[in-house]
Structure 1
Amino acid sequence: MPLGRLTRGTTGTNRLRRVDRWIAQHPALQAEQRPLVVDLGYGASGATAFELADRLRRGAPEVRVHGLEIDPGRVALARAQLADRPELAGRVSFAVGGFEVPTPGGEQPSVIRAMNVLRQYDESEVAEAWARMTGRLAPGGLLVEGTCNEVGRVSSWIGIDTAGPRTFTVSLHTASLESPLVVAERLPKALIHRNVPGEGVHEYLKALDDAWQREAPRQTFGARQRFIAVCGRMRAAGWPLTDSRKRWRLGEITVSWDAVAPASGALAPS
């Protein structure tokens, strides 16, 4: 039996473009000649798996995407949709599955993308779900787990390898951004209940919003320039950012997991 619970299935077209763009540049994808990427819990349509394959092939021409859903009806629909996309034959596949991550021939995936999946779970269930998924990864592989809003303009996710969580990323549509605190409602399950005083993620988001307000004069030069300045201010303040200006231009900011990890340490790397 597949491990996990049925998702709401509300993922829409182009909703996951921000996380797909981040995966496309990650070393875990680039390390393999023919990487296998799993789209776990893709929802009521195969659209996100098709989009993932199209986006990743630009930098990894031989990439293959394998979509997993617990509901056999969703898998049947996605396969029917795939039949209408002959150009994706051999590059995209679908199957019934959950956190056990079944793949063709038992192949270990280079990347597992699990967006908007754990949002409906209890925080106490997160560590076990992570362990099951990362236990299926190829050496050097990556689990990307997080959430986003309905139109994909507000996203956040955690990068996790076989040793545990490593990074936390916030990705925002800067042109429509009033405050980075908008991401508070779209934090991954491991962090959303930790956004309270005394927790690392709370202090991080507070600092991010403070930097946004302080860089308000740069709005004259555009929201992108303002966000870049915000990220530079965060780094200067000592936050261990792991990315660079190239990613900041996209409305992304990634910090080491240690800076935002729950104070209990329950989800810390082993």
Structure 2
Amino acid sequence: MAWPRLVAVLSEAAVISAVLYYFGWVRTEATYGRFGVSLSLLELATADYILRSINSAFPPLIGLGAVLVALAAVHRRWVAPALAAEPSRCAHRVARAAIRVITAVCVLGLALAALGVVAQDTVGKPLGWWLPAILTVAAAGLMYVGSATGATSPVGSTVLPALAVIGGLWLVTVHAHRTGDEFGDRFVAGLPGKPEVVLYSAERLAIAGPGVGVAPIEQEGSRFKFRYTGLRMLIHTQDRYFLVAAEWQRGRDATYVVASTDDTRLDVIGR
């Protein structure tokens, strides 16, 4: 018994890790994409994406788990006994009526989701994140109806789970992208108050922008000849610094990629 349980736990951990990785990848791409930085330049590791997803991914995942546990408890406590009762009992009739209502609502939900996919401009875009949410809930609801009533079919056992997974991944993507955009907005809004980066370089660099200053270094024997101020650190990888101006604006200012070599040095001034 211990081995199947261990396999189940490991499988769940692998699924959760994959979801966190995907969530972190989409969130990171949305954040740094607004600065014109491709993820291929960052060369982040798997752990980096997972760590970047935890604060944003855990609340919806925990909420989803709580909802599923609550629904499972409701089914065991009331729905299953009512469906197993005599057909003449009031509880059985109420449960059957509820099943029919759930079925009708879910079928309409799938129809709306299909319409949203076909007519993206008129239906899909106005629905926004509601479209994948409707698809996920409708497919999962029909799966529940089939399981509760025993009316399983090839469609119910193959197509509906696939639609639920697709809708769930779609919803995660939308939420992750929105989270990345919001993080990017907060980062840009807080740039003036972030620690200032002072860049020293042996060669003159094409770095300029609102609030960025450059001054020559005339100290004899110094390796560095130029000093740049008014910069902020966007992110630091193993061999690159990604810097932006303190008054950076999207669509107007550049993101500066500076190689981490012996000819450059960065000082950080806290605020």
Q: What TM-score does the superposition give when structure 2 sets the normalisation length? A: 0.24
Higher strand share: 1
Q: What TM-score does the superposition give when structure 1 sets the normalisation length? A: 0.24
Higher helix share: 2
Structure whose CA Rg is larger: 2
